[in-house]
């Protein structure tokens, strides 16, 4: 059983061995070199899904800037942190070149030259560098590629769709591998967009959509294909992240009107934009509010302003919360960003697994056996699956055990101190004591007869996490010692 640090180190070694084996095959060698280089990059998080599902709007909401979609349309745009706004493309030989870029009211406009225009449609891509704290550890990719292609280029995926229909489940199933590291679907999260339009956009639409998402993620079939299912209004989320002072003033004026006279104009878009409606706010500004927030977002903003959101910052914060953006950001942080080392390693191992199976050379058999052993040892994948099962309710533990389990599994951070709930200034002896106590606590749960069989299997995964913590503490105290190895039979959450 290994932790994320050893997983990353062993992945590097395996890739370098493969690069030596395939050094005489230029395409394979180039693929391996790119794969090795990407291990040091930020987490690559793709935003994918069917057309007109709200992908670009969600990208804007996550970054907190009105950048997407870019014009002219491209098959894929990657957003990275940079010292200044710039855009890059690649010509037919893969040589990068800078693309002139301007920012307009509806996003960015690029002016690629003939080197870009001459590429096939599926190769027309760009990289946008934008100074952003959000992008320092996570590169966002707004893509129109089919999901199997997306998974070849990204470490994690937000699959954005208006509703999780049978066709979506089939797409997710087709993208899941049948062997090797790709069999662990720990890199995909489903986002149900247009949550504010649920039930025809009635006032409780967002709440209803979130309840529906919670029901879907408890379904065994859905849980086997993704880490989480969340409901979100990308439109309200983007508007909340980029709320302007003039918009806040308009909501303040609308909220100050008597409800009996104002509320009838909030029942439909025609009534809201009528020339003689809600006179304190001009018709043109009301149209702009409708484009930015939607009718459901306008009703929500007025309600929040009436109930105490008296500054733009306060209103923006509450709108983000109600839109579902806060829940999504928390899920991304816990299941993706905190596990970026494991997810990057998984992507690299998946690429290597495919290469070893499709371009076989004499040493490939040993490399494939080493890869399968490495994947079997990677406990982080089982932790991610159990965290997802606990979050969704597919696995239930008694409340006090569930809180303890989520922390030990790394749900609040993957460092030893965060897993044990220790303060940064805790002594070594206190940390050792807490780790041993946690191991004994979960050994009793895993070996006892109080829990149900499924709960005991979950307890076994938590116990392995405790053993991993003890092994890490042992390495920290004796760096030259070989890491301890523990029995790690395959579990149901891998």
Q: Three-state SS across 75-123?
A: CEEEEECCCCCEEEEECCCCCEEECCEEEECCEEEECCCHHHHCCCHHH
Residue 340, both tokens: 């970026």
Spatial strand order in the sheet of 228-231: 96-98, 86-90, 125-129, 76-80, 138-143, 43-48, 156-161, 188-192, 228-231
Burial label for 222, CB within 10 Å (0-12, 13-18, 19+), is buried
One digit per residue, the tens of pLDDT, for the chain of length 494 reads 677 788 999 999 999 999 999 999 999 999 999 999 999 899 999 999 999 899 999 999 999 999 999 988 889 999 999 999 999 988 767 788 899 999 987 789 998 877 776 677 666 889 999 999 999 989 999 999 988 889 888 999 999 999 999 999 988 887 776 566 766 678 999 999 988 887 667 778 899 999 999 999 888 889 888 889 999 999 999 999 999 999 999 999 999 999 999 999 999 999 999 988 898 999 999 999 999 999 999 999 999 999 999 999 999 999 999 999 999 999 999 889 988 989 999 999 999 999 999 998 888 899 999 999 998 888 988 898 898 888 878 889 998 899 999 999 998 888 899 999 999 889 999 999 999 999 999 999 999 988 999 999 999 999 999 999 999 898 887 654 444 333 333 343 43
Residue 365, both tokens: 């058999």
Question: Which residue matches tokens 């959000």?
Answer: 134
Residue 255, both tokens: 């909220």
Residues 381 and 437: their CA atoms lie apart, in Å, by 24
Residue 439, both tokens: 């191991």
Axis-axis angle for helices 379-392, 399-408 (nearest 10)? 150
CB 350, CB 177: distance < 8 Å: yes
Of 386, 378, 377, 404, residue with least CA distance to 335: 386
Q: Is 6 helix (H, G, I), strand (E, B) or coil?
A: helix
Residues 172 and 188: their CA atoms lie apart, in Å, by 9
The Cβ-side half-sphere exposure at 476, using a 13 Å CA radius, reads 14
Q: What are phi and psi of 228, to 5 degrees?
A: -160, 160
Q: What are phi and psi of 401, to 5 degrees?
A: -75, -35
CB 128, CB 114: distance < 8 Å: no
Question: Whats the size of the chain, residue-wise?
Answer: 494
Would you tell me how many other CB atoms lie within 10 Å of the CB of residue 138? 23
Give pLDDT, residue 486. Answer: 33
Question: Which residue matches tokens 């690429």?
Answer: 351
Give pLDDT, residue 122. Answer: 63
CB 34, CB 152: distance < 8 Å: no
Of 152, 174, 185, residue with least CA distance to 355: 152
Residue 173, both tokens: 């199933």
CB 21, CB 356: distance < 8 Å: no
Give pLDDT, residue 489. Answer: 35
Give pLDDT, residue 312. Answer: 96
Give pLDDT, residue 178. Answer: 56
Give pLDDT, residue 481. Answer: 42
Residue 310, both tokens: 């008296």
Of 433, 428, 406, 430, residue with least CA distance to 419: 406
Angle, CA 344 vertex, CA 119 and CA 122 arms, to 5°: 15
Percent helix, strand, coil in the chain, to 5, is 55, 10, 30
Residue 397, both tokens: 């533990």
Q: Is 126 helix (H, G, I), strand (E, B) or coil?
A: strand
User: Which residues, other chains included, contact 221 with Cβ-Cβ below 8 Å and sequence gap of 6+?
Assistant: 169
């Amino acid at each position: 059983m290994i932790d994320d640090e050893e997983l990353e180190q062993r992945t590097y070694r395996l890739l370098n061995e493969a690069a030596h084996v395939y050094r005489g095959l230029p395409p394979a060698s180039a693929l391996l070199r790119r794969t090795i280089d990407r291990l040091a990059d930020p987490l690559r998080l793709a935003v994918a899904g069917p057309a007109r599902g709200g992908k670009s709007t969600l990208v804007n909401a996550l970054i907190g800037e009105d950048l997407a979609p870019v014009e002219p349309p491209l098959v894929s745009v990657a957003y990275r942190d940079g010292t200044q706004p710039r855009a890059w493309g690649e010509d037919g030989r893969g040589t990068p070149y800078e693309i002139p870029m301007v920012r307009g009211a509806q996003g960015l406009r690029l002016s690629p030259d003939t080197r870009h225009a001459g590429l096939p449609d599926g190769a027309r891509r760009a990289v946008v560098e934008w100074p952003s704290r959000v992008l320092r550890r996570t590169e966002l990719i707004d893509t129109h590629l089919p999901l199997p292609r997306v998974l070849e280029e990204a470490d994690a995926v937000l699959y954005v769709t208006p509703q999780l229909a049978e066709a979506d489940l089939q797409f997710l199933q087709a993208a899941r591998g049948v062997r090797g590291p790709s069999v662990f679907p720990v890199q995909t999260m489903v986002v149900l967009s247009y949550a504010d339009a649920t039930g025809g956009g009635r006032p409780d639409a967002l709440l209803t959509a979130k309840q529906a998402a919670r029901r879907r993620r408890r379904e065994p079939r859905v849980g086997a294909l993704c880490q989480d299912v969340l409901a979100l209004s990308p439109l309200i989320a983007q508007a909340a992240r980029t709320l302007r002072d003039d918009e806040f003033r308009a909501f303040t004026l609308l909220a100050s009107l008597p409800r009996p006279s104002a509320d009838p104009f909030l029942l439909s878009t025609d009534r809201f934009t009528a020339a003689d409606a809600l006179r304190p706010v001009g018709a043109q500004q009301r149209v702009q509010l409708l484009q930015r927030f939607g009718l459901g977002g306008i009703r929500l903003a007025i309600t929040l302003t009436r109930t105490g959101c008296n500054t733009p910052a306060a209103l923006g914060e509450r709108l983000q919360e109600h839109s579902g953006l806060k829940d999504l950001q928390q899920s991304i942080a816990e299941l993706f960003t905190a596990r970026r080392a494991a997810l990057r390693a998984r992507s690299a191992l998946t690429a290597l697994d495919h290469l070893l199976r499709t371009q076989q050379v004499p040493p490939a058999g040993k490399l494939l056996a080493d890869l399968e052993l490495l994947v079997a040892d990677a406990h982080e994948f089982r932790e991610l699956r159990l965290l997802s099962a606990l979050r969704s309710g597919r696995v239930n533990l008694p409340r006090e055990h569930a809180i303890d389990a989520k922390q030990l599994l790394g749900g609040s951070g993957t460092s030893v101190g965060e897993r044990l709930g220790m303060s940064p200034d805790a002594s070594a002896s206190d940390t050792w004591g807490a780790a041993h106590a946690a191991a004994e606590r979960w050994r009793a749960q895993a070996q006892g007869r109080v829990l149900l069989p499924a709960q005991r299997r979950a307890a076994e995964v938590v116990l392995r996490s405790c053993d991993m913590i003890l092994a890490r503490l042992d390495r920290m105290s004796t760096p030259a010692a070989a890491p301890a190895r523990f029995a790690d039979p395959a579990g149901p959450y891998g």
